[in-house]
Amino acid sequence: MNLNRSTQYLLTVVLGLLLTTWCMPHTSLAQPSGPVIQKMEPPHWWNGGTEREFVLVLHGPQLAECSVSIEEPGLTVLGTERRQHDDYLFVRMRVESDCPAGTHSLALTAAKGKTTFLSFPIHDADGIPKGGQGVESGSTMYLIMPDRFANGEPSNDTVDGLREQGVDRSEMYARHGGDLQGIAQHVDYLDALGIDAVWLNPVLLNDQPKASYHGYAVTDHYQVDPRLGGNAAYRDMVAACHQQDIRVIQDVIFNHWGHNHWMVRSLPDSSWLHQWPEFTLTNYNCNVMTDPHAVQEEVDQFNRGWFVRQMPDLAPDEDPLLADLLVQNALWWIAEAGVDGFRIDTYPYSDQAFMAEFAERILAQHPDLYMFGECWVSSPAAQSQYLSGSQLSTSDSHLESVKDFQLHFALRDAIGEDPSWRTGITRVHGMLGQDGVYPDPNRLVTFVDNHDTDRWFSVAGDADRARYGIGLVMMTRGLPCLYYGTELGMDGFAAPDGLVRDDFPGGWAEDERSAFQADERTPQERTLWSFTSALGQARRTHRAAFASPMSHLIPRQGQYHFMRSDGTAHLLVLTNASDEAAKVDWAQLAPLQHGASILRSALGSSGDGPEQLSWGEALTLDPWHFQVYLLGSE
């Protein structure tokens, strides 16, 4: 092919220009007009109903060099803060009382003068769902691991872009597909069981490569895990619970984040994590926090050591900014979803000054909100020291409640022992006899099992003992919390813990049967469920009695009797924690008679023995007998 000289020259120039342009750095082709914002938290705030001041987190290349301004009325920039990482800018904002709802424009200006305008939504406080309602004394709670309860929306089982893909119900540490839609679809089941509040294991995003199902390694604090349904499904589930007057407790973690948390992968400041010369685990011994003989080195290791390698240990005590971010996230979820309380994971592991500040600020906005901490300690005295109002504490934690591991341990030990003056049910009586160390023992969260312990049915060893333990925890003082499936006798030992986190039967379309349906339960499941439901409904009917102090008698040959009374309704609980039948000694029961002549079962046909009898009538309690009578007169 022959080309003349002018044509050849023209082609050479054009080709050179094309090659020059193609070889230029990509950034020069799409050079932004101003700073680039890659992530912003929180995604919005409100013009009322929560704290007016908040911290806006902006993340993007060299944002620390930028300044922020706003000229619109109602939203004020109080100042900016920077940390070691140049890609973060922390903007302290205030929503004024006259701030209108809508999108507000903030000017983000780089050091060289280029500006990006950021749209930030302020939502109307009138649209905030009713939350922060707390949990009333006399209520019954129910713990759900969302991934293992029910799969209400199979289309979200796998979400593109996340590290862990797919579901495998045969693998205990894989995701199984349960979600928030599945919980919302079974609110009627919870209501029939007598449940007044649900506590969910953490629902926020856990973008971990494996074992992300349990939720305790959060990687994004403003996003509900999309495999559980996302933020909209969470709001809808809370609303569905509220329609049945069931409160919702959110599980929160302040001791650690997941190692794939976006702020850990791009750490704003080294002071935000507890650092060691070499990797150091906590010693896991909560008792050092209240032990007057503990050495400081072991206290430090407990507080500053990491829970596991995949859960970096947070240090909100080192930087008030981090503390503010943690508090405001909790406030955000109360306003965003309408949650009514917080269960605080690994409570003693977190900085206690921060935990007190957290609770105080939450209660300043939501005085009825219920908070309880996980304090896995070894004595009532140690447990009490974490409670607000405790005579054993030197400072105010502003924490209303803790999980009552002491009663759990006593019942666990007692259920397998023969009764004596020191063993068997005497352990429970003795533990309850130490309730004087608590400001209000009726606010403690009691339980026979949970997601970290052996399943109660396996501990008890048979249906009669399992039934007895559930009855005892449901009727004694405190706020009882059932673990999903305990009402059916689901079993397993926590060795490892995945073995106590099986799927609820019937929560998946492919399941052969559904234990949500009475006619598909096994005979044993049906009996235990009916008994548990009767207990829950009795607590609802006589809530004032279960919110009042209890009275109990010294156990004798395994018989342990106690009363729940509000001064008007008197409920007498007759039990026999023994393998031997025993006759009731009415003379011993005389202090609990309250002038009654008739006893009528509060459990209907689900209780043991006659549904009605006269005071003083001969009565033999079979082994592991459990009955609740409402006292009355002819």
Alpha-carbon distance of 565 to 632, in angstroms, equals 13
Alpha-carbon distance of 178 to 458, in angstroms, equals 24
Q: Is 58 helix (H, G, I), strand (E, B) or coil?
A: strand
Residue whose C-alpha is closest to residue 164's, from 123, 202, 211: 211
Q: Read off the tokens for 443.
A: 């606010």
pLDDT for 435 equals 98
Look at residue 27 and tell me whether its pLDDT is greater than 50. Answer: no
pLDDT for 23 equals 36
pLDDT for 33 equals 76
Q: Tell me the mean pLDDT in the region 397-404.
A: 98
pLDDT for 16 equals 40
Per-residue confidence band for 318, with pLDDT thresholds at 50, 70 and 90: very high
Stated as kind and residue range, the H or E segment containing 20 is: helix 5-23
Look at residue 9 and tell me whether its pLDDT is greater than 70. Answer: no
Q: Tell me the mean pLDDT in the region 140-168.
A: 97
Q: Read off the tokens for 420.
A: 């004596």
Per-residue confidence band for 81, with pLDDT thresholds at 50, 70 and 90: very high
- What number of other Cβ atoms are within 10 A of residue 441's Cβ? 22
| Residue-wise pLDDT tens digits, 243-256 | 999 999 999 999 99
Cα angle value 488/493/494 (rounded, 5°): 115
SS3 sequence of 218-247: CCEEEEECHHHCHHHHHHHHHHHHHHCCCE
pLDDT for 25 equals 34
Per-residue confidence band for 634, with pLDDT thresholds at 50, 70 and 90: confident
| Residue-wise pLDDT tens digits, 548-575 | 999 999 999 999 999 999 999 999 999 9
pLDDT for 283 equals 96
Average pLDDT of the chain is: 94
Per-residue confidence band for 32, with pLDDT thresholds at 50, 70 and 90: low
| Residue-wise pLDDT tens digits, 274-293 | 999 999 999 999 999 999 99
Q: Tell me the mean pLDDT in the region 43-56.
A: 98
pLDDT for 342 equals 98
| Residue-wise pLDDT tens digits, 351-397 | 999 999 999 999 999 999 999 999 999 999 999 999 999 999 999 99
Cα–Cα distance list, 283 to 286, 303, 374, 454 (Å): 9, 9, 17, 22
Specify whether the CB–CB gap between 208 and 162 falls below 8 A.
Answer: no
Alpha-carbon distance of 139 to 21, in angstroms, equals 71
Alpha-carbon distance of 289 to 281, in angstroms, equals 16
Per-residue confidence band for 1, with pLDDT thresholds at 50, 70 and 90: very low
Specify whether the CB–CB gap between 335 and 49 falls below 8 A.
Answer: yes
In order of their start, the domains of the chain are 39-127 (2.60.40.10), 141-257+315-541 (3.20.20.80), 550-632 (2.60.40.1180)
Alpha helices in 352-461, H assignment, sequence order: 352-365, 380-384, 405-414, 425-432, 456-460
What does 496-560 look like in DSSP terms, one character per residue? SGGGG-PPPTTSSTT-S--TTSGGGS-HHHHHHHHHHHHHHHHHHHTHHHHTSPEEE---BTTEE
